[in-house]
Structure 1
Amino acid sequence: MNAPPQVDRPNMTDAEWQARCDLAALYRITDMYGWTDTIDTHMSVRIPGEPSCFLINNYGDLFHEITASSLVKMDIDGNVYSKDGKFNAAGFTIHSGVYKARPDANCVMHTHTRAGAGVSVLKKGLRPITQDALSVYDDLVYHEYGMPTSQEECDALGVTCQHGNSVVLRNHGLLTVGATIPGALRRMYMLERACEVEVIARGLDEEPAPIDPEVIRQYGERAKQQRANPGYGLTYWNAALRQIEGKGDDWRQ
């Protein structure tokens, strides 16, 4: 990839700047995949070496406008360290709740796509009827809808995310958690794909072909091993970086 432009970043570690570049890239990738909801929804990353602090989008920016320097630095108690930074209140509730409950989590993604929101309103939710679904099915949990900006919801979401990293937020959308940005992105990609096919399948006048329960179990074991690899999602991440770099607009500034 081309060398990023030089940016003046006083009082910022190299690790924070790299996290900013990676998160800005994640927003651009999210935009490329068509997962945006204008200025709503949000992704975050925990700052290396500062476990109580994370980066999130400046509320009001479109995802294709986000750059490394435009991201807002805040902590899990709601303190903002970026000058003139604005954040989505519901976004703070979601991301702080996960980071408080999951010390191992370093990236959180949240979407409102039509497919994800569509599955979120279904009582039975996502079924193990596709290969995409089997990639996340053993790690899938459901979170009941609560008041988005309340402390109660913050705490409840933290509890839910202690039981899985691919989350259907009932009557709302989707959420994924990862130890890395590539890992969280890969989970979201597979979860979104599974929801897309689920919605299509429910609109057809035929029951889906079942997958043998033993195959579901075996696939789940393999998927679990893949997700446990520290490099999970990295190949796909690098491919997506090449795609957004090809657009010619640099997010690393």
Structure 2
Amino acid sequence: MSVSENTPMAADRSVFLRSKIKIILTGSETKEEAEAALRAPINIPRYPHFNDVHEQRVHMKQKLAAGFRLFAKFGWDEGVAGHMTFRDPEYPELYWVNYFGQSFSQVRASDLVLCDHSGAIVRGNYTVNKAAFVIHSAIHEGRPDAVCAVHSHSMYGKTFSTLGRKLLPITQDSCAFYEDHSLYDDFGGVVYTPEEGEHLKSALGQSKAMILKNHGLLTVGSSVDEAIWWFISMERCCMSQLIAEAACTNGFEGLQLIDHEVALGTRGNVGDKQAGFFQFQPMFAQIVKEQPDLLE
């Protein structure tokens, strides 16, 4: 997300503008107030505008911290496993990440560590998970458009990954990933080698999400918000499909799939970067209200 980006939500399909119908809500407003209401602007959701790169950096760190708090709230933390990174807006070759060993439930914006491609610490006093940077440095290197990358060992994501196949278009939500997620089917243990990182980068390709067989999920986005939302949504899609398959007597072959053209069209509505960004905003507002210390 650039400093100047303030594009409104795309959506002639998502928002309505002011009606021209003239009414007066009897007992609730005067004639003058009713006329003023017709002239009042409609607040259309927009990307934030930043006055400088420092303001943007703080905002992005707060969004990432919120992502960790949400994951902890959802029970998607697993010991010291899992990590999220985003490119620094001033130095895009450097990345902010959670430090190794900190509970997702305690991450604050000020706790994030700035690292280079090798995982060496540029700012911060804690070390980072080596696997985090083998994975994330390769992903960011291969995807210049990926501002943020998210990976965690969430329950339904890692469970679905054991099937060694992709999500099916069985719900409107899963259509967001239709023909836009990949499968990495060569699990080789904890990711420590650069070669493994290269394989992950190749498997992801230009998709926004990937299922790592016997491991879990990974998502990327052009904003912190988008990458976190795709992970949340994909985890829930894995949950939905596992439940649906369990209810079928003949497994996934009994599921009613959404037609190819309809799935593609639906992806255009619910699977683009604007949709990913704005879907995250209510969750961000909710977790900040519940846990305001994450902004520190």
TM-score where L is the length of structure 1: 0.86
2:243 is matched by which residue type in structure 1?
A: I
**2:259 corresponds to 1:218:** no
Residue pair 1:107, 1:178 contacting (<8 A) in 2 also: yes
Partner of 1:192 in structure 2?
Answer: 235
Change (3 A) 1:139 1:25: same
Q: Tell me the alpha carbon deviations over residues 135-165 of structure 1, each in whole angstroms, 9 at most, x when there is no partner.
A: 2122010012234011101111111222311
User: Alpha-carbon deviation of 1:225?
Assistant: 5.4
Partner of 1:146 in structure 2?
Answer: 188
Alpha-carbon distance between aligned partners in 1 of 2:70 and 2:248, rounded to the nearest angstrom: 35
**2:71 corresponds to 1:30:** yes
Alpha-carbon distance between aligned partners in 2 of 1:224 and 1:55, rounded to the nearest angstrom: 30
Partner of 2:222 in structure 1?
Answer: 179
Cα RMSD of the aligned pairs, angstroms, is: 2.0
Alpha-carbon distance between aligned partners in 1 of 2:204 and 2:248, rounded to the nearest angstrom: 35
**2:198 corresponds to 1:155:** yes
Change (3 A) 1:242 1:83: closer
Counterpart secondary structure, 1:50:
coil
Which of 152, 161, 173 is the matching residue for 1:132?
173
Alpha-carbon distance between aligned partners in 1 of 2:291 and 2:71, rounded to the nearest angstrom: 16
Change (3 A) 1:34 1:152: same
Superposed, 1:26-175 pairs within 5 Å as: 26-144=67-185, 145-147=187-189, 148-175=191-218
* Identity across the alignment (%): 28
Change (3 A) 1:187 1:29: same
Q: Tell me the alpha carbon deviations over residues 156-188 of structure 1, each in whole angstroms, 9 at most, x when there is no partner.
A: 111122231110001100010100122112221
Residue pair 1:43, 1:109 contacting (<8 A) in 2 also: yes
Residue pair 1:24, 1:67 contacting (<8 A) in 2 also: yes
Change (3 A) 1:206 1:84: same
User: Alpha-carbon deviation of 1:16?
Assistant: 2.5
TM-score where L is the length of structure 2: 0.74
**2:252 corresponds to 1:206:** no
Alpha-carbon distance between aligned partners in 1 of 2:105 and 2:158, rounded to the nearest angstrom: 22
User: Alpha-carbon deviation of 1:205?
Assistant: 4.5
Partner of 1:234 in structure 2?
Answer: 277
Change (3 A) 1:193 1:24: same
Change (3 A) 1:220 1:185: farther
Alpha-carbon distance between aligned partners in 2 of 1:250 and 1:17, rounded to the nearest angstrom: 14
Change (3 A) 1:197 1:225: closer
User: Alpha-carbon deviation of 1:36?
Assistant: 1.6
User: Alpha-carbon deviation of 1:233?
Assistant: 2.5
Residue pair 1:15, 1:47 contacting (<8 A) in 2 also: no
Alpha-carbon distance between aligned partners in 1 of 2:102 and 2:122, rounded to the nearest angstrom: 18
Alpha-carbon distance between aligned partners in 2 of 1:227 and 1:211, rounded to the nearest angstrom: 18
Counterpart secondary structure, 2:169:
coil
Alpha-carbon distance between aligned partners in 2 of 1:123 and 1:14, rounded to the nearest angstrom: 42
Report the structure number with the largest CA radius of gyration: 2
User: Alpha-carbon deviation of 1:125?
Assistant: 4.0
Q: Which runs of 5+ in 1 are unaligned?
A: 1-11
Residue pair 1:52, 1:75 contacting (<8 A) in 2 also: yes
1:154 is matched by which residue type in structure 2?
A: G
Residue pair 2:88, 2:96 contacting (<8 A) in 1 also: yes
Residue pair 1:183, 1:227 contacting (<8 A) in 2 also: no
Change (3 A) 1:16 1:242: closer
1:121 is matched by which residue type in structure 2?
A: T
User: Alpha-carbon deviation of 1:226?
Assistant: 4.6
Counterpart secondary structure, 1:211:
coil
